[in-house]
Structure 1
């Protein structure tokens, strides 16, 4: 990576249709001018983050600053965001890098305007390192005015930013709605209409919220405009694996609660594709231990088995019981699975039914970033897709993990299995809001794991993505919803 950048200025200012020469101290022809970008100590930099102070140094600034032009009439932009010019004196300009709202590392343009005329543009000349911020968005305090959760599990988002959260309880689960302002209210289930809810998805176009109910072994549709209107889309009400339409079909959902240690990944999860087709995880049969498969349900209630999804394990290494599901931009289905000593990670099934393991390994508890089989998870509970990227609620790691379409795993927030309040001998200290700057692109994987520990979650049960810069995580350990912002 280069340690020094050269920025080139055109020394010609256009005003009122003519070219007015700026009085540089050499011959009258415009010249390309060398500029060095440094930190406040004078060390050349090639990467920066929001809020960082940068220094632009050039002999050309001497005359401009004598006239006060840069401070008074200059504007410096990083991409399309204006930087705050803090000081302009002698041969330098001191500025603060603005928030660029980029959820990933990216090389950005730098531009200088004087009296609204472009004097300079350096394309892709600085690497922007995003900041990750995590804070409790709703819940945690018992009896708080914004609502209290029992066991917040899987969740989904509507088109206006409302969250719909499965709140698991001892008898009948409920669905709580959390507004974009963090206000929590009962949405459905207050009259005990549900048993154990193990999956949730939304069809914004049809105005329907779907849930998988393991108590009745049915998929139910809730009309968002009238939450009291609850209808069975598919399922006979008895456990089974029969394909068919409506009540002619049957399911075998796992009925464990999200906090059942090492057991909640047994045949659960729900997602929806752009056409309104639902996908659910379930057990398969009763004779082969840990057998599982995925089912597809059309908007009309036609149930079929997803090609390539059935696993009838003959050995421990092949066990992969679905816990949470998602569909990416290429219509690949992904599901997370994991239990101590089994495969803990992500399985991908392509539209033609080819199954493969995208990331994770056969392991006990662990938190490790890396690519493919180098990455470690700990009882992952839920997964959500945005474009080709995946976001995983990594259960007892109390972590949010980001996974690329090529299987590169990066921890965005969380502390790891052995440092969460539920599984370590450390005192219960509660959630910790915090933020950190993403390490450089070429940092060792554990640099991300270490930095992400600044945000202390406990047990991650669900995840929903509004966009790559705004992710929500349900925490059944601290009984709250987290808001993770990447900028």
Structure 2
């Protein structure tokens, strides 16, 4: 009996440590593609983004999603706030940010006294939310119990191609957008520098993991470290479990696997040619995407916010086969349609997070948070 109890405690510890961390959330394979709306009425809210439950809440271009195992946290890029959403009820409240346009020296503070320039992707790790504040060119940290916001890396000034590695304010980024984590580091898609950066979350020490700093065209290249070339890496995702070896990097129309130990980048899915509405399913280079704004996983599939195709796609992590989970490719505004598979409609689906067997998606152009079962 004592042995079984010990095993149970060990399992619970691992679940708390890995299952709820960052942008992966609880495990569970999403199969049916049944799409519903959790929160948002489809009306764009401005600096006075409205709290509420379900359709009484309003958003202003939702962008990033994370979970701490209890709540969803939404980075609202144009609303310049972080919102907290109850995934069971859709109740939405402001959590951090005053909604004003923060300049490059966006203000640290607690709760609504903090300001953001353009909060993009967001992850949860060890009682903190970490987000890429794109227009401020820095990485911010929010202490979840108190709502205190601070800056851990970045000068607030865009650094070009020769972006400086360093610690805290000595490091430079140029529109960081994607962010993910493992048990030790944050990984950042430094979009306009075409780098993948690695950040120590306690010290802010920043180094360059992969990328040559030359924002190449559609012919992004495989390579190791500085020999790899990315065409504007927008998203980066650490696949489950967090002790895995690979990061998945999304550019406009390709997905790469990056070995986080060596920086070696290899092609995984997409042929580099953007596809519109009739985006092609297939394996490896036979699949086509157009503007990858979201990546998340349940440990079996990589889910992709195929923004300009207004679809949510899924890629088999074992085979690289890409299929369409939801969306018919037609942009639907305000009256975005719930439904199953291709009967559902989105407008620029962005970040996603897997929680409790459901996939939650930031439906950016519809100013809603959707869920797919």
Fold match (TM-score > 0.5)? yes
* 2:80 pairs with 1:173: yes
Could you tell me how far apart the structure 2 residues matched to 1:214 and 1:102 are?
31
The 3 A distance-change label for structure 1 pair 314 and 480 is closer
Give 1:84-103 correspondences, 5 Å limit: 103=29
Aligned partners of 2:51 and 2:93 also within 8 Å: no
Shift of 1:207: 0.7
The 3 A distance-change label for structure 1 pair 230 and 357 is same
Aligned partners of 2:67 and 2:124 also within 8 Å: yes
Match of 1:359 in 2: 269
Shift of 1:391: 1.1
Could you tell me how far apart the structure 1 residues matched to 2:132 and 2:350 are?
16
Shift of 1:309: 3.1
Aligned partners of 1:383 and 1:393 also within 8 Å: yes
Match of 2:353 in 1: 464
Could you tell me how far apart the structure 1 residues matched to 2:166 and 2:350 are?
31
The 3 A distance-change label for structure 1 pair 138 and 151 is same
Could you tell me how far apart the structure 1 residues matched to 2:179 and 2:334 are?
33
User: Which of 238-247 and 305-314 deviates more?
Assistant: 305-314
Aligned-residue Cα RMSD (Å) equals 2.3
Give 1:237-386 correspondences, 5 Å limit: 237-240=156-159, 241-253=163-175, 268-275=177-184, 277-283=185-191, 291-313=193-215, 316-318=218-220, 319-328=230-239, 329=241, 330-338=244-252, 344-351=253-260, 352-366=262-276, 367-386=279-298
Give 1:17-28 correspondences, 5 Å limit: none
Runs of 4+ in 1 over 6 A off after TM superposition: none
SS at match of 2:174: coil
Shift of 1:283: 4.5
Match of 2:40 in 1: 139
Aligned partners of 1:474 and 1:482 also within 8 Å: yes
Shift of 1:412: 0.9
Could you tell me how far apart the structure 1 residues matched to 2:301 and 2:179 are?
18
Q: Deviations over 1:352-402 (max 9, x none)?
A: 222111101122333111110111112111111332531111102221111
Q: Specify which structure has the bigger relative contact order, considering alpha-carbon pairs within 8 angstroms and separated by 6 or more residues.
A: 2
Shift of 1:313: 4.9
The 3 A distance-change label for structure 1 pair 304 and 156 is same
Could you tell me how far apart the structure 2 residues matched to 1:177 and 1:312 are?
37
Aligned partners of 2:138 and 2:154 also within 8 Å: yes
The 3 A distance-change label for structure 1 pair 102 and 325 is closer
Match of 1:411 in 2: 324
Match of 1:67 in 2: none
Shift of 1:144: 8.5
Could you tell me how far apart the structure 2 residues matched to 1:320 and 1:230 are?
31
Aligned partners of 1:167 and 1:174 also within 8 Å: yes
Could you tell me how far apart the structure 2 residues matched to 1:187 and 1:349 are?
33
Unaligned 5+ residue runs, structure 1? 1-100, 105-129, 254-266, 285-290, 339-343, 422-427, 436-451
Match of 2:115 in 1: 193
Aligned partners of 1:197 and 1:213 also within 8 Å: yes
Aligned partners of 1:157 and 1:464 also within 8 Å: yes
* 2:130 pairs with 1:214: no
Match of 1:474 in 2: 362
Could you tell me how far apart the structure 1 residues matched to 2:155 and 2:66 are?
26
Could you tell me how far apart the structure 2 residues matched to 1:283 and 1:397 are?
21
Q: Name whichever structure is richer in helix by fraction.
A: 2
Structure 1 length as normaliser, TM-score?
0.58
Aligned partners of 2:292 and 2:307 also within 8 Å: yes
Match of 2:304 in 1: 392
The 3 A distance-change label for structure 1 pair 244 and 361 is same
Could you tell me how far apart the structure 2 residues matched to 1:189 and 1:144 are?
14
Give the count of matched residue pairs.
304
- Which has the greater radius of gyration? 1
* 2:149 pairs with 1:226: no
User: Which of 132-141 and 146-155 deviates more?
Assistant: 132-141
Could you tell me how far apart the structure 2 residues matched to 1:195 and 1:315 are?
28
Shift of 1:103: 3.6
Could you tell me how far apart the structure 2 residues matched to 1:353 and 1:244 are?
18
